[in-house]
A and B are shown apart, each in its own frame.
Chain A
Amino acid sequence: MDYGTAGTALATGLLFGFVLEQAGFGSPCKLTAQFRLTDWSVFKVMFTAIIVAAIGILLLQVNNTFGSQGFYVAEMYLWGTVLGAVLIGAGFAIGGYCPGTSVVGFGSGRIDGLVFMLGMIVGVWAFAGVYDSDFIQTVVGGTALEARTVPEWLGVSPWLVVAAMLLMLAGGFLVGRALEQRSHGVYSAEDITEGRDPGESDELGHDLGREASAGRRGETD
């Protein structure tokens, strides 16, 4: 790997970790609150990011700017993707992280993030140990779907897919806002740093503007 490639990898990785931490995604409480439907930050951040990147890529592809028509899209092996997503979703609900966010959790000082990372290494060894089995070979060895992208698969314009995703984001935002207001479950920076449960502090009558400083919090009690 030359210096240019290494520098690019380091810089893009650094930006990635920086943004995820600023979103609060080093906190397993905030991350798993998406699955309890009390804090919709994961959905909002991910879906917004996907749509922004997708629109940028589509615009670049009009004139093949930066060779964008050759950007990599992995093929889909249905059972590998489905079973992998099952295990990663379960691992997220149980361990509190996904692979990338465990690194962010560790980077913000969380020992449990480091332990999750160690668990992943063991998980790779476990996979390597049973890789030759008939079951795994059947799962990973099937044929890939011929179409790699949804527009190809459905035979529609990619912009129609982006429009549908924008509608989903708007719908998710409205549903999410209603559920967040009902549960008072959105974790603030202070909640995730000091290990507080936002629902509980509301019940005790604390300041609902949870980004307020500790001093102001006292006054409003």
Chain B
Amino acid sequence: MSCQVRPLWPPFIAGIVLGLVVLLTFVLVGNGMGSSGAFARVATEIGLQVAPEATRENAYLGGMAQGNPLAAWIVVAAIGTLIGAILASVSSGRFRVKVDRGSGRIGVAPRLLLALGGGLLAGFGSRLAAGCTSGVGLSNTAMLGVAGFVFLIVFFVVGIVISLLMRRVW
């Protein structure tokens, strides 16, 4: 190991700083931090490049296709999230290019298939909930929103149940 791996931040420190980041986002922007909206915008932009007519006529993507989907605030924030993660992992000696196979009991191809499938479910689900763990679970709950609490309860219960079926993987 060439560079020393720095310890993670203790959960309560990370939690306090994360809370301040969410608060700062509300102060600067008027709404909380989100992630999944960026994927909806990128999906719309790719659709416009590959199948412009079908995308504009689609009842869901058509609205986002007006104007430049990539110019949305949330897309720039997601690029920032990526840069922030790179800075943190590189500066802490934790950056490794790899396929993270959990406990290593499954192969690379099955792991990537599961990642793709999990992403598909999350992408679909984030459009139903109009947000994800960041936008609804974290930001909406910080505003004491009903949606945030409902989201978190269901999210944790379903996560625990489904992970019982995934023990071979993780």
Contacts and interface: CB of A to CB of B under 8 A. Distances in A.
Contacts of B94: 21, 26, 108, 189, 192-193
Interface in B111-170: 111-112, 114-160, 162-163, 165-167, 170
A89 B143 contact: no
B128 A139 contact: yes
Interface string B36-48: 1001101110110
Nearest to B117: A94
Contacts of B84: 13-21, 107
Interface residues of B, number: 128
Q: How large is the interface on A (under 10, 10 to 19, 20 to 34, 35 or more residues)?
A: 35 or more
B36 to A, nearest CB: 4
Contact of A49 (B16, B118, B128, B156): B16
Interface of B: 1, 4-9, 11-12, 14-33, 35-36, 39-40, 42-44, 46-47, 58-61, 71-74, 76-89, 92-104, 111-112, 114-160, 162-163, 165-167, 170
A125 B95 contact: no
Given A1-B76, A57-B23, A74 B119 contact: no
10 contacts: A14-B81, A36-B163, A48-B16, A53-B19, A87-B121, A92-B122, A102-B122, A108-B94, A108-B95, A119-B115
A148 B140 CA distance: 10
A189 to B, nearest CB: 5
A21 to B, nearest CB: 4
Contacts of B132: 88, 98-100
A139 to B, nearest CB: 6
Taking chain A's interface residues, is the majority helix, strand, or loop, or is none over half, making it mixed?
helix
Contact of B16 (A52, A83, A100, A150): A52
B99 to A, nearest CB: 5
Interface string A2-19: 000110111111111111
A23 B150 contact: no
Interface in A188-215: 188-190, 192-195, 197, 200, 211, 213-214
A151 B161 CA distance: 30
Given A22-B9, A23-B18, A91-B120, A108 B73 contact: no
